[in-house]
Amino acid sequence: MRISLRILLRRLSLGALLLASGAVWAAEWPSKPLTLIVPFPPGGGADTVGRYYADQLSKALGQPVVVDNRPGAGTAIAAEAAAKAAPDGYTLSLATAGQLTVLPNLADNLRYDPQTSFAPVSVVASIPNVIAVNGNLEATSLEELVADARARPGAISYSSCGNGTLCHLSGELFKRLAGIDLLHVPYKGSAPAITALLGGEVDVAVDTLTILAPQIQAGKVRGLALTSAQRSPLLPEVPTAAEVGLPELENAGWFGIVVPARTPRAIVERLNAEIGRIAKDAQTAERFGQSGITPEYGTPEAFAELIRADLKRWGEVARAADVRID
């Protein structure tokens, strides 16, 4: 089909006008307070990360960034609210690995798509998991735990912070990679899961560094492996998964900032640049390091690729372990 020169020029002019208007809009942004949706109640790791970045972005952008806690439905309520918001740069959302890469593999009725409902801005932080054991077991290394589990299939139990959570899938990934059978005991959150470990109700726990580090430091449980690429200053004696022969076990619960799809690219780039400055600030590393949280930063494209890769990875783990949620 041939297009006349007049129509072509008209389309080019319209495109230029839209680009110009978008640039003007972005240049004037922000002119009012912004909202950062956090998918958990106040307190806890996610809220800590969200409030810190909200405070720092407020200073960088010259407008208040108000935290809006939207817990519920396994983080789906917050994601749906963010997906439905106007794509004008005034609604940001703290996205989690569970929200964008685990839940979509387990739930059929979500009202958001992790890859099309949002424009990724940047990863902002990550927390690795730890595999820890209590006095019920004599294992002092992951190799010894694996050997024990192979000798007693199904006899050793492990707790997670909930069925279908990243803690759970990290535990299932460990089982698959090590070729062992552990009995999964889900709890409603990390607090009761670790209480069960301390009380001897379960033998092993797979949970975040933030939750388990204090218990390991106090000598109440033994840390056997971190699912991070490097050892943590909080637990310098605990080896990484790669060091104990399971490099594919490396995984972390990450947090990132997303905005509704179709938010102007210029706004996404501005937010990305400000997040980069915040993540690289020594104050951020010091503030997060006390809780075992690592500041992160990357391009929007790198964040989008992380979402795609983790969607595939956790989908494979969930299907192999037949993980379902009610």
The predicted pLDDT at position 10 comes to 62
pLDDT band at 52 (very low <50, low <70, confident <90, very high): very high
pLDDT, position 70 = 95
- pLDDT, tens digit, for every residue of 274-291? 999 999 999 999 999 989
pLDDT, residue 326, reads: 66
Backbone angles phi, psi at 71, to 5 degrees: -75, 165
Whether pLDDT at 11 is above 80: no
Task: Give 230-269 pLDDT, tens digit per residue.
Answer: 999 999 999 999 999 999 999 999 999 999 999 999 999 9
pLDDT band per the 50, 70, 90 thresholds, residue 108 = confident
User: Is 60 exceeded by the pLDDT of residue 9?
Assistant: no
* Residue range 46-66: mean pLDDT, rounded: 97
Q: For residues 110 and 268, is the Cβ–Cβ distance under 8 A?
A: no
Q: What is the pLDDT of residues 171-194, one digit of tens each?
A: 999 999 999 999 999 999 999 999
Read off the pLDDT of each residue in 286-308 and give the average, rounded to a whole number.
96
Report the chain's mean pLDDT, rounded to a whole number.
Answer: 92
- Picking from 117, 241, 106, the residue whose alpha carbon sits closest to that of residue 178 is 241
Residue 4 has pLDDT above 70, yes or no: no
Q: Are 36 and 68 in contact (CB under 8 A)?
A: yes
| Residue 324 confidence (pLDDT) | 84
- List the single range of 46-50, 199-203, 260-264 with lowest mean pLDDT: 46-50
Partnered with residue 186 across adjacent β-strands are 160
Task: Write down all domains in the chain, each with its CATH number in brackets.
Answer: 31-126+252-321 (3.40.190.150), 128-249 (3.40.190.10)
Q: Which of the four pLDDT bands, split at 50, 70 and 90, describes residue 1?
A: very low
Q: What is the pLDDT of residue 89?
A: 98
Residue 138 pLDDT more than 90? yes
pLDDT at residue 325, rounded to an integer: 82
- Residue 45 is predicted with a pLDDT of 84
Distance separating alpha carbons of residues 183 and 161, to the nearest angstrom: 14
